Structure 1
Amino acid sequence: MAPVFVLTVFIAVLCSVQGRSTGKASFEKSEEDMEIDSTNTNSIKEEDFSASTLIEKANRNLGKSLDEPLVMFGDIAVNTGFMNADPCTASGCKWKKYSDGNVYVPYVISNQYSAPQERYVIESGLQTFAASTCVQFIPRTNQRDFVDIQSQSGCFSYIGRQDNGQVVSLNKNGCVYLSVVQHEMLHALGFNHEQSRSDRDSHVRILTQNIMPEMEDNFKRINTINLGTPYDYNSVMQYGRLAFSKNNQPTILPIPDSSAVIGMATQMSPIDILRINLLYNCSRQFD
């Protein structure tokens, strides 16, 4: 793809998203301000907390149910026996692009979500993709491959398109927030966490001595396809500096500026959106 075209798409997306942004302040809260009381998570306005903070809290007890998939890297489901989450988009796990230029991803929402507000948040999160990309989540009719949104033990998703119905878990008591819906659907579209990028060591330092025991997999570096896009501290896929900390000391530090704000996104960033459009070769313009 020509550099001029990529730059043009990036500028257009940046302008579009900034026009809808809730404001810079949402990315500038301190980690201390982001601590969540485990007794009242769903009573807090979702825009007050980043996706990574909500997911980490919701997934504290993940993995205790034998009928749920193996979950690694924090919130990435893997088939038993598949021991990594390497990118698969170069070998068949992208969703199909149709002749009209759109990528249609069928979905089903479980009846476990009995409150109208729960379904509204999930559906609103799905609709945000169509506003700025060629990806459209549509209710399933009889399609073979689809995302099956359920309230299981925590927040998790497989990477990319799987065969038949693939579970995306959005636990109703901790994961039903716009940012978390976007985060998990980005996994389903084929994207990994930002701190797992192949070039992450040039942008963040992982402090293994501060990571909780048995949580090291959340920080493994993956041979990702980065689509020529820069590392993005504001990505909804970037975890915060205290993620999985055992001692309230940083596990992720930005470099060279260790004071830079990271992992505070409450919605997809302009670069998140750009990457979707690059991966799926979206060609139409978006308002």
Structure 2
Amino acid sequence: MVIFSWTFVALLLGSSSWAEEEAFAQSEDTTRELSVGELLERANRERVPDFDEPALIGGDIAVKGDRNADPCTTTGCLWLKYSDGKAYIPYYIANHYTDRERSIIERGLQSFSTVSCIHFRPYQTGDHEWISIESRNGCYSYVGRQGGGQTVSLDRSGCLYHSTVQHELLHALGFNHEQTRSDRDNHIRVHWDNIMDGMDYNFYIIDTLNQGTPYDYNSVMQYERYAFSKNNRPTMEPIPNPNVAFGQATQMSQNDIARLNRLYNCCEC
């Protein structure tokens, strides 16, 4: 009877443990379905930066000085290409990530080499410019090549998804958000009255690197309908059809890939 009792208890504990793991897995699966904009907003909502971290605009774009200046259109920001036509960009991944977390980051890095001439490679002694991927406070990146080691923050608490990795790397390669494009007003109506106080600048139009591609509601760089809303009402609405779905990307779109290839003059043969 004692043996039976202990066996029964063990089964109960095992069943409980399995149920908890299953519930966690279901929660994770639901989270993965969120758009990149929703993931970024959630991860950065309560962000309290350390003294050595940059200010952010647009939710996740790190800036050093003038928040309205885009270095990619004022001084140039592209990573250098080699004689074989490819851009080999060194990266360093901080050692505080687990193996599983590191694999998510590496998958995002590798996804670029399959669709473009951008090849991320591990940092080597002597590299003068590289991307340092670290778990800082929130998800963020500078726009374009900054020189030296530049931080791409992928916080372990909410930034480790394929879409967020691609999103931040596209910032590092020179791209801003889709909703700040110079032709935005032809495709998106901004409801300024619904935007959080002091957050208007996140919707200011800038001279972005569109590379002749059409406005893309499905871009991984497009935020969702309620981004920075103060009253649960839409801050953005597609025009002329307000019912068009947008801001729901979970990975790079074909337009994202096309403009990346055009910006870096990748061979499309």
How many angstroms apart in 2 are the aligned matches of 1:65 and 1:40? 32
Q: Deviations over 1:183-225 (max 9, x none)?
A: 0000000000000001100000110111112222221111223
Q: Residues 139, 236 of structure 1: CA spacing in aligned structure 2 closer, same or farther, 3 A cutoff?
A: same
How many angstroms apart in 1 are the aligned matches of 2:113 and 2:254? 14
Are the equivalent residues in 2 in contact too, given 1:107–1:140 (CA < 8 A)? yes
Structure 2 residue 255 is the aligned partner of structure 1 residue 271: yes
- The 4+ residue runs of structure 1 with deviation greater than 6 A are 39-42
How many angstroms apart in 2 are the aligned matches of 1:186 and 1:215? 23
Q: Residues 276, 69 of structure 1: CA spacing in aligned structure 2 closer, same or farther, 3 A cutoff?
A: same
In structure 2, which of residues 39, 45, 50 is the aligned counterpart of residue 65 of structure 1? 50
CA RMSD, 1 decimal: 1.8
Structure 2 residue aligned with 1:209:
193
Q: Deviations over 1:107-126 (max 9, x none)?
A: 0001121x211000000001
How many angstroms apart in 2 are the aligned matches of 1:198 and 1:66? 33
Structure 2 residue 113 is the aligned partner of structure 1 residue 130: yes
Structure 2 residue aligned with 1:10:
none
Per the TM alignment, residue 135 of structure 1 is displaced from its structure 2 partner at its CA by 0.3
Structure 1 counterpart SS, 2:114: helix
> Which shifted more, 92-101 or 208-217?
208-217
How many angstroms apart in 2 are the aligned matches of 1:217 and 1:267? 26
Q: Deviations over 1:78-109 (max 9, x none)?
A: 11x33324251573310001111111111000
Structure 2 gap segments, 5+ residues each: 1-23
Amino acid across the alignment from 1:53: E
Q: Residues 170, 200 of structure 1: CA spacing in aligned structure 2 closer, same or farther, 3 A cutoff?
A: same
Q: Residues 171, 41 of structure 1: CA spacing in aligned structure 2 closer, same or farther, 3 A cutoff?
A: farther
Query: TM-score if structure 2 supplies the norm length?
Result: 0.87
Structure 2 residue aligned with 1:4:
none
Q: Residues 218, 44 of structure 1: CA spacing in aligned structure 2 closer, same or farther, 3 A cutoff?
A: farther
Higher normalized contact order (CA 8 Å, seq sep 6+, divided by chain length): 1
Per the TM alignment, residue 45 of structure 1 is displaced from its structure 2 partner at its CA by 5.2
How many angstroms apart in 2 are the aligned matches of 1:105 and 1:42? 35
Structure 2 residue 36 is the aligned partner of structure 1 residue 51: yes
In structure 1, which of residues 53, 67, 74 is the aligned counterpart of residue 59 of structure 2? 74
Structure 1 residue aligned with 2:237:
253
Are the equivalent residues in 2 in contact too, given 1:104–1:136 (CA < 8 A)? yes
Structure 2 residue aligned with 1:99:
83
Structure 1 gap segments, 5+ residues each: 1-38
Amino acid across the alignment from 2:42: K
Are the equivalent residues in 1 in contact too, given 2:175–2:209 (CA < 8 A)? no
Higher-Rg member (1/2): 2
Structure 2 residue 72 is the aligned partner of structure 1 residue 88: yes
Amino acid across the alignment from 1:136: H
Count residues with an aligned counterpart.
245
Query: TM-score if structure 1 supplies the norm length?
Result: 0.81
Are the equivalent residues in 2 in contact too, given 1:200–1:221 (CA < 8 A)? yes
Structure 2 residue 130 is the aligned partner of structure 1 residue 174: no
- The percent of aligned pairs where both chains have the same amino acid is 54
Are the equivalent residues in 1 in contact too, given 2:73–2:207 (CA < 8 A)? no
Structure 2 counterpart SS, 1:132: coil
Structure 1 residue aligned with 2:9:
none
Structure 2 residue 128 is the aligned partner of structure 1 residue 144: yes
